[in-house]
Amino acid sequence: MTLPSVACIYPSSARDSRIAGIETGDTPKDFFYGYTRLVERGYPATIVNSQQDPDGLMSRLHMRAQYYRNRMMGFATNTQRVNAITHQLKGVDIAFSFTDSFSLSLGLYRNQIPNRPILAGGFHGLTDMADFARPGFRGLSHKIVKRALDGLDHLFFFGPADRQRAIEIYDQPESKTSLFPFGIDLDFWQPRKAVDTAPSPEQGILAVGSDPRRDYGTLLAAPFEGQVRILTRLNLNIPPARQNVEVFRGSLFGSAITDKVLRTLYQDAEIVAVPLFNVWQPTGYSVTLQAMSCGKPVVLSDIRGLWDRDVFQSGVNCILVPPNNPKAFGEAITALQNDANFRARIGAEARKSAQRHFALVRMEDALEHLVRTLTNQDY
């Protein structure tokens, strides 16, 4: 049986350059959303960069004009980004986009793709997109999203709340959608080994992430003592009263903060804080699961889009706090700081929960199942 050919579309070429890192142990497989499983099983699978520039001066000028339009609207789609990759989709049976804005672009501009493959769009926070557009453009943004979704063959979501709300407000048939469960590379994200030489002492609070849905204001306003280390590209307003804040300005894509460095930051931290705005997007899941897999206690905002309410048990494998509540966030951090046994117990249960419920295989299975199902392949 001939296996279907697959294109996995991600932002930037960083993933392409990181393939070699899997063999050396420098890169976690979860970075690829199941692509590596397809390759291992012999699927003709390729990585496509969704941030490629189109050829030709006019196309680039058009792309720049759309960029400024997107800034004005606070909502992003781009026909020229789709044009730039059409030659790479030639002969492909199915294409998966793993970012919201490019998924919408594929749906909007699908007719520009010759010999069009099956188009599957992935969404991390679809139902928040139109709401976060600039006032005056939200109605138009909602209509654009609806038209884009109608142009896709399949929609897959990283959070159940986001999926259900999208079905309702954008009038999508449930059969056209699926839940894509994120999985973590437990062989890469793990606690510091006892045989490691001269381990650093655990230090302070670590927060990671550049998604605009991060609520660092709540973290920085929370009443607790100790060092705070934040890895983000977002601009932060650090209160004068908040001492001992170290901000790492850099992206995880191509910067000096490699995956191995990030793993060390997790391992060195006493507590990992994931403060979030109360959105439908299942934001923060990758950082949360990376930290849990490293055996760290996580203080996490209990948002509407929390991606697994059955597994996350506050006081057992994490601490959930109400969103936009500095007092509760500070109390949770202080409780962990003041009780080393409590901290160790939460961290150990976090690792066990990651092993039981969030192993990489569940994401790999999900992607292969979608390939098979959408291309009508028998198992």
The domain spanning residue 39 has which CATH number? 3.40.50.2000
Q: Please give the Cα distance from 265 to 258 (Å, whole number).
A: 11
pLDDT one-digit tens code per residue, 22-51: 888 889 999 999 999 999 999 999 999 998
- Domain co-membership, 161 together with 217: no
Q: How many secondary structure helices (H) and strands (E) does the chain include? A: 14, 12
**Is the model's pLDDT at 201 over the cut of 90?**
no
**Is the model's pLDDT at 13 over the cut of 70?**
no
Which residue type occupies 16?
A: D
Residue count of the chain, please give it: 379
Which residue type occupies 71?
A: R
pLDDT one-digit tens code per residue, 270-300: 999 999 999 999 999 999 999 999 999 999 9
- Write down the pLDDT at residue 253: 42
The pLDDT-based confidence of 125 (bands split at 50, 70, 90) is: very high
**Is the model's pLDDT at 306 over the cut of 70?**
yes
The whole-number average pLDDT for the span 78-97 is: 92
- Write down the pLDDT at residue 77: 87
- Domain co-membership, 280 together with 156: no
- Domain co-membership, 240 together with 268: yes
Count of CA atoms in the C-beta half-sphere (13 A) of 235: 0
- Domain co-membership, 152 together with 226: no
How far out from the chain centre does Cα 8 lie? 15
| In a domain? residue 198 | no
pLDDT one-digit tens code per residue, 320-354: 999 999 999 999 999 999 999 999 999 999 999 99
| In a domain? residue 189 | no
| In a domain? residue 1 | no
- Domain co-membership, 307 together with 368: no
pLDDT one-digit tens code per residue, 106-115: 999 998 888 8
- Write down the pLDDT at residue 252: 43
- Domain co-membership, 164 together with 243: no
| In a domain? residue 369 | yes
The whole-number average pLDDT for the span 303-319 is: 95
- Write down the pLDDT at residue 62: 83
**Is the model's pLDDT at 151 over the cut of 80?**
yes
Which has more pLDDT, 106 or 195?
Answer: 106
- Write down the pLDDT at residue 68: 84
**Is the model's pLDDT at 12 over the cut of 80?**
no
- Domain co-membership, 40 together with 177: yes
The pLDDT-based confidence of 195 (bands split at 50, 70, 90) is: very low
Cα distances (angstroms) measured from residue 322 to each of 75, 112, 290, 334, 347: 28, 45, 22, 16, 21
The pLDDT-based confidence of 15 (bands split at 50, 70, 90) is: low
| In a domain? residue 98 | yes
- Domain co-membership, 245 together with 224: yes
Which has more pLDDT, 21 or 336?
Answer: 336
Q: What is the DSSP string of 72-128?
A: HHT----HHHHHHHGGGGTT-SEEEE-SHHHHHHHHHTGGGSTTPPEEEEEESSHHH
**Is the model's pLDDT at 373 over the cut of 90?**
yes
| In a domain? residue 313 | yes
- Write down the pLDDT at residue 331: 97
Q: Residue written as tokens 């793709």?
A: 113
Do the strands 6-10 and 298-301 form a parallel or antiparallel pair, or are they unpaired?
unpaired
The pLDDT-based confidence of 243 (bands split at 50, 70, 90) is: confident
Task: Let me know: does 162 contact 305? Beta carbons within 8 Å.
Answer: yes
- Domain co-membership, 160 together with 290: no
**Is the model's pLDDT at 189 over the cut of 90?**
yes
Counting the structural domains of the chain, the total is 2
The pLDDT-based confidence of 145 (bands split at 50, 70, 90) is: very high
Q: Please give the Cα distance from 179 to 248 (Å, whole number).
A: 33
- Domain co-membership, 146 together with 235: no
**Is the model's pLDDT at 1 over the cut of 70?**
no
| In a domain? residue 170 | yes
- Write down the pLDDT at residue 23: 81
| Percent of the chain scoring above 90 in pLDDT | 70
The whole-number average pLDDT for the span 84-90 is: 91
- Domain co-membership, 155 together with 71: yes
- Write down the pLDDT at residue 116: 85
| In a domain? residue 190 | no
- Domain co-membership, 331 together with 370: no
| pTM greater than 0.95 (yes/no) | no
Give, rounded to a whole angstrom, the gap between the first and last alpha carbons of the chain.
10
- Domain around 81: 6-183+360-374
The whole-number average pLDDT for the span 67-80 is: 85
